Homo-oligomer: A and B are copies of this chain.
Amino acid sequence: MNEIQVMESKEKAHGCKCEECILKNLIFNYVPDEDSYILCNVKREQSFKKGEIIVKQNSPIVDFFYIKSGIVKLSKVTESKRNHIISIAKPHDYTSLLTVFHGKNYAYTMTAIEYTEICIFPLNLIIDLVMRHGSFGIGLLKKSSKTADDIIDRFIQNNSRNLRGRIAMTLLDFSFNIYKSHIYELPVSRKEIAELIGMTTENVIRILSEFRKEKIIKINGKEIEIVDFERLKMISDRG
């Protein structure tokens, strides 16, 4: 038995490699060993390059997605053909909870905006597990209601700000909740920011330039550095 074989055998014994990652997460805490074993054996793992579509709006729901690593955007086109970004999700953060339980087709398109690894489970299996383990259902309910509340909250926050406030909020959001750094590479285009916070691309650019001229941020293509954190926070709060 070489080293790789030993490792593979260990993985089998524990169910699967991402067990630690999954167990850390709220949801999968609740399933007993023998079932998490099934869960692991049935799941398939798939990776997506920046820009690749994970699943398309309106395609029939068959799977349940879990973000293992990377960053994903959820978007939707309305009848008026306008594209809207609903949310930007990070690992463990969003797990395709919305829609899958009540709809026939996915309501949102999921796109990788960085290299992303997704764990894919047949929805039937998830439902079956909820049927057999109420506590798992509670876990999903918690996660799902949190996700929804967060999205709704972002909409309200967004709507009660002017454009400068929205951009400031978005920059701070990336800094705090995704990259945990005052300097980072924007994973989205100016156009996508516009679609996320409901304004035009031109004004996104214009306001980013304003912030640069006011020495609040430094811009280098997609790289953003927050220089004057206090002022950015103030603009986000007052705006």
Q: Quick one: given A132-B134, A137-B137, A137-B141, are A155 and B152 in contact (CB under 8 Å)?
A: yes
Most buried by B among A135, A140, A141: A141
Residue A55 CB within 8 A of the other chain: no
Binds B, one of A2-10, A38-46, A80-88, A110-118: A80-88
Most buried by B among A101, A130, A198: A101
Contact of A142 among B102, B136, B155 (CB under 8 A): B102
Contact A107 B140 (CB under 8 A): no
Contact A78 B156 (CB under 8 A): yes
Contact of A148 among B135, B140, B152 (CB under 8 A): B152
* Cα A141 to Cα B76 with chains together (Å): 22
Q: Quick one: given A80-B160, A131-B135, A133-B134, are A98 and B149 in contact (CB under 8 Å)?
A: yes
Contact B149 A103 (CB under 8 A): yes
A residues 119-162 in Cβ contact with B at 8 Å: 127, 130-138, 140-149, 151-153, 155-157, 159-160
- In the complex, what residues of B have CB within 8 A of residue A98's CB? 145, 148-149, 152
Residue A54 CB within 8 A of the other chain: no
Q: Chain B residue with minimal CB distance to A129?
A: B134
- In the complex, what residues of B have CB within 8 A of residue A237's CB? 79-80
